[in-house]
Amino acid sequence: VTATPLGPGPEFDRIRAIAAVLGSRATGLGDDCAIVRVGTKTLALSTDASVEGVHFRREWLSLEEVGWRATAGCLSDLAAAGALPIGVLVALTMPAADPPAAFASVMDGVGRVVTSVGGTVLGGDLTKGDVRSITVTGIGRVESVIGRQGARPGDELWVTGELGGARAAWMAMQAGREPDTAARARFALPVPRVAAGRRLVEGGARAMIDLSDGLAGDARHLAAASRVMLRIDLAQLPCHPAARVEAETQGEPAEVFAAKGGEDYELLVVMPPGATGNVGIAWSRIGQVESGEGVVLELAGRAVALEGYDHFA
Ligand SMILES: [Mg+2]
């Protein structure tokens, strides 16, 4: 497995530093999943940490939702690899004062989302700590390997579902307002697009990434990995209805609001030219692949500058 070319940003600077010190002691860093061949089978592996005060606030989420959300983020990486989940391992840190029922509640959320995509909880580890954190390692099986590399000039860029719902809920909660019910569900109980990911691979997808840090940033990662330029027409972006309402509150075009939103966990997918849209999933064509580098976002013929979320920016 060759190393994936990395995009710009402070988080990727840290990955670059790690890759430099590890050298040949690391393989295949920089994609949504590690791809490991075991005999005739191929596994996709991913790990994802969720930390209280960084990824979630207890006053916004129940413990079940904390477990679901952390696990959905990890399963979303498996979805972007077109993997069929086998299960998850969970490392859970909670205050010693939290009763057994609190641990059980978090794991109830984990169990509900992992079984929804056909996997199970395979094991884990418990530690005490002042800050709650949940680290989920997902294990899946793939038949053909797909990642962030593979987009070619002339290909088409598509996105599943609707964007901006999670951000709409986040903005409302941040401002102390009651979030829209559907938007809150997008935030608290995101659905990993496992079935869509598998169908898209069968449908001939060339490259995929899940939208965890916002369209602008994640598209940039895919462009860097594939060594291409992505041109996105924001007017084509499928916006969640709550994103339209919240965008108006913020005085921002809905498409820009939706493009800024992280944690939608939809899939950004590159298809060969002429994909009909008939793959049996809700998706929208939002742009094209060109030669060059980086991402160009346009709205009504004008370039729009947007950054994705970076954990270290
Ligand atoms: Mg990802």
Task: Read off the tokens for 174.
Answer: 């941040």
* 46, 135 Cβ separation under 8 angstroms: no
Look at residue 96 in the predicted model and tell me its pLDDT.
95
Helices (H) and strands (E) in the chain, counts: 9, 12
Task: Read off the tokens for 113.
Answer: 């989302």
* 247, 253 Cβ separation under 8 angstroms: yes
CA 78 – ligand 1 centroid, Å: 8
Look at residue 3 in the predicted model and tell me its pLDDT.
67
Look at residue 122 in the predicted model and tell me its pLDDT.
98
For each successive 10 residues of the chain (313 residues), what is the average pLDDT?
Answer: 73 88 90 93 96 90 97 97 98 96 98 98 96 97 94 97 96 94 97 96 95 92 96 97 95 94 94 82 95 95 81 70
Task: Read off the tokens for 51.
Answer: 């930390």
Phi, psi of 85 (to 5 degrees): -65, 140
CA 210 – ligand 1 centroid, Å: 5
Look at residue 12 in the predicted model and tell me its pLDDT.
84
CA-based torsion, 160, 162, 167, 169: positive or negative: negative
Give CA separation, 236 vs 25, 152, 186, 261, 299, in Å.
43, 21, 21, 16, 9
CA 201 – ligand 1 centroid, Å: 16
CA 307 – ligand 1 centroid, Å: 16
| 139: nearest Cα among 34, 59, 8, 244 | 34
Task: Read off the tokens for 260.
Answer: 């800024």
**DSSP letters along 1-29, please?**
-PPPPP-SSHHHHHHHHHHHHHGGGS-ST
Task: Read off the tokens for 228.
Answer: 């291409």
CA–CA separation, 113 and 147 (whole Å) = 23
Look at residue 275 in the predicted model and tell me its pLDDT.
79
| 307: nearest Cα among 174, 211, 218 | 218
CA 101 – ligand 1 centroid, Å: 31
Which DSSP category does 210 fall into?
E
Question: In the β-sheet with 120-128, what is the strand arrangement from edge to edge?
Answer: 34-38, 41-51, 133-142, 84-94, 120-128
CA 178 – ligand 1 centroid, Å: 29
CA–CA separation, 191 and 261 (whole Å) = 16
Look at residue 157 in the predicted model and tell me its pLDDT.
97
Task: Read off the tokens for 302.
Answer: 């004008």
Which DSSP category does 93 fall into?
E
Query: Dihedral of the CA atoms 205, 154, 27, 15 (nearest 10)?
Result: -110
* 169, 180 Cβ separation under 8 angstroms: yes
CA 212 – ligand 1 centroid, Å: 6
Residue type, 110: V
| 79: nearest Cα among 177, 261, 209, 230 | 209
CA 96 – ligand 1 centroid, Å: 31
CA 209 – ligand 1 centroid, Å: 6
Residue type, 117: V
Look at residue 1 in the predicted model and tell me its pLDDT.
43
CA 140 – ligand 1 centroid, Å: 14
CA 57 – ligand 1 centroid, Å: 22
